Amino acid sequence: MPATWVPLPESSTFGVHTLPYAVFSIADEDPRLGIGIGDQLLDLAPLAAEENLDGAHVFSQGSLNPFMALGPRAWSAVRGWVTELLTEEPHRDLVEPHLVPLADATLEMPFEVADYVDFYASQHHAENVGRIFRPEAPELPNAWRHLPIGYHGRGGTVVPSGTDIVRPSGLRKQGDDVVYGPTTRLDIEAEVGFVVGVPSTLGRPVPVAAFADHVFGVVLVNDWSARDIQAFEYVPLGPFLGKSFATSISPWVVPLAALRDARVEPPDRDPEPAAYLRDADGEPWALDLQLEVSWNGTTVSRPPFAQMYWTAAQQLAHLTANGASVRTGDLYASGTVSGAARDERGSLLELTWNGTEPVTMADGVPRTYLEDGDTVTISGSARGPDEERIGLGEVTGTIRSASAGS
């Protein structure tokens, strides 16, 4: 692919192989769709109108949902159109007036979340959690190697990057007593989310091979977790209030087409998955993504996504295996991304071994769980062509006291 004529900062990971989507606004103008290129946004609505593009009205919407619902042919056509505009010099005079500096734009919630499902797909994470919470039991639940375990979260509490997170309250154990109050073990989970564009039909499962027919792209996810509330409530039905108070997502939705060179073979599975969960021949959907977790400016972890046991294609196949349908705007997340090494663990629960092994911050202070005022940022990138990195952007949030929500 030829280089873009748009000047790119040396550190930029938003080149013409990335072209991530966002919803943005400027001053008092209505939110609309844009595509990131370097440190600028391509304002799609006026450009599409000027070009008399079919369906140009979808770009003036304040959500990606109408565009995502158009399906893969439209996604591919728009990506090809934008690539041509940004790489062929004769288009420069047409395009330049529609480039908006990111510094002048406010990034909004990129899509309307219809439903939210969170999985549990990292073997390293699942084993660590088993050792911490269930030391007398097997590290992995009985079903874990047979299917992608997950739970149904709350779409209404998915929030955009930059939203403050109010410390949640709930019931938790305090010695021999059960008390109600703010969590004392507020945690993060570094994850990757997958955004559904094309809905499926109720009663008809989505096969692994049809993953790219339905999923539009990926976002970064921080699934905030109150570990003491979670530990008390989660038997026998799993996470509830310890998870449902907030989930943050990045403002950028990176299309699947940008991740073509990041696709790798998944780990070996033992036992062999059921037929509906087997990888499609020649179509692996494990992804070589690298995440980075920053806590108050200190990098504390670099979780490797390529090691995830279950792929996003298998997760979609499983969440529809009983005939459940998906809708435009459905979000499902990978579960915490953790590697084998301590500095590859994607949660503070694992990094500090439930508070018993503090992390030393850049200022020399040992820390375990999140305190009010702390800021956590998760960033990420993917393997691209010719050693290029495909940027996934970042998702950030700052903790506010429980009283801030009263």
Residues assigned a catalytic role: 125
The DSSP secondary-structure symbol of 305 reads: G
Q: Are 388 and 381 in contact (CB under 8 A)?
A: no
Q: Which residue, chain included where needed, has tokens 């370097």?
A: 38
> In the numeric block, which tokens belong to residue 10?
């040396």
- E strand or H helix at 389: strand 389-400
Q: CA separation (Å) from 165 to 147, 257, 319? A: 32, 32, 28
Q: How many CB atoms lie within 10 A of CB 373?
A: 10
The DSSP secondary-structure symbol of 101 reads: E
Residue type, 296: N
Interatomic CA distance for residues 351 and 122, integer angstroms: 15
> In the numeric block, which tokens belong to residue 18?
């990335």
Residue 101 dihedral angles phi and psi, to the nearest 5° = -60, 135
The CA radius of gyration of the chain, in Å to the nearest whole number, is: 21
| Residue 367 three-state SS | strand
Tell me which residue of 337, 333, 282, 339 sits closest to 312, measured CA to CA: 333
Q: How many CB atoms lie within 10 A of CB 274?
A: 12
